[in-house]
Each structure stands twice: as structure tokens, then as C-alpha cells.
Amino acid sequence: MITIISATNRPNSSTLKVSKKYMQLMEKQGVTCQLLSLEDVPADIAFNEVFNKRSTRFQQLLDQYIIGVQKIVVISPEYNGSYPGILKVFFDAIHPDLNRGKKVGLVGVASGRAGNLRGMEHLTGVLNYLGMHVHPNKLPISSVLSLISESGNLTDLNTMKVLEKHISDFTQW
């Protein structure tokens, strides 16, 4: 089982749309996966979960999406030249022993030109500190708004090809 994390709590985000397409493409390749949107974490995560005041809802998310999973794909938007604070808080709220040794694939999403390259590098440092192994093929997706149709679907064929390649590389790793 592979967990895909849509790394923003912003409603109706482009990141969630890319994450859903990534999941569809994984399933098409026969990979068992599940999607966690950070929209679903408790709203008070920074004030309770980080300080070990574990809620039933957060424990359920950990049980389903983190504990027992050996591979995670993080699809992260670019926020202020890095990755979203909710993603940092999410990892801060999880005891490092629960993630140590896991393999992580990174996909960056940005409306600009760099596809969140800087944010993926920042995130790589944090994940390495936590003892996680980051796949060397970090996929930047630039100009994401131009890749999503009016109906809200990721339809760009070239982007689909690089996503399929990323999936193939990551699942074989």
C-alpha cells in the first residue's frame, strides 16, 4: 500500500486535483494506493496533536495512512518559496519512529515556472532528518493552472507521461 498525501489544506486546490490524477494513474499501473488530503486533518492540529493531545480523528488518520505503510508520495504545492506549513505541522505531530525508514516520492506543484523545486529541497531536508529515504527523481510540475481543464481535471498529455514515469520509477524503487 502506498499513501499519496495532497499536502495542502486549501479547499478545491490544484494540488488535490493532481493528487487524484496521480492516484488514478497509479491504480492504472496496478498499484494499491490511497489518498490523504491534508484538508482532512483536525483543524486544531498545531495546538493539540503536536503536543500529544491525540484526538481519535487524528489517530484514525495515522492508523489508515501512516502506520504500516512503507511508501509515501507527497504532492506539495509551492507556498512562499517552500512547502505548506500544514505539511510541516503534520509531520511534527507524528512521532519520528512511525516514519523512520519509509521511502518517499516527491511531486512539486506550482503556478509558476519552477514546479516547487525549492520547496521539494526544503522538504527533502526535513524528511532526511526524520530518517526517511527520498527518491532522487523529484518531479516539478510548473504552470499547473494551465494544465487543468475547465472541468477541473488534469488533462495535459505530457504531464500525464511524466507522472506515469515518476510512478513507475517510484514503485520499482
Q: Which domains does the chain show, CATH number per domain?
A: 2-172 (3.40.50.360)
Pairing of strands 71-77, 139-141: unpaired
pLDDT at position 135: 97
* Helix and strand element counts for the chain (H, E): 5, 6
pLDDT at position 150: 78
pLDDT at position 148: 86
Report how far Cα 77 is from the mean position of its chain's Cα atoms.
Answer: 9
pLDDT at position 78: 94
Which segments of the chain are extended strands (E)? 2-6, 33-37, 71-77, 103-109, 133-134, 139-141
pLDDT at position 23: 96
pLDDT at position 12: 87
Q: Which residues, other chains included, contact 34 with Cβ-Cβ below 8 Å and sequence gap of 6+?
A: 1, 2, 3, 4, 23, 64, 65
The tally of CA atoms less than 13 A away on the side-chain side of residue 161 is 3
- In the chain (173 residues long), the average pLDDT of successive 10-residue segments reads 96 93 95 97 83 85 95 96 95 93 97 91 96 96 87 86 96 94
Q: Residue 11 is placed in which grid cell?
A: 479547499
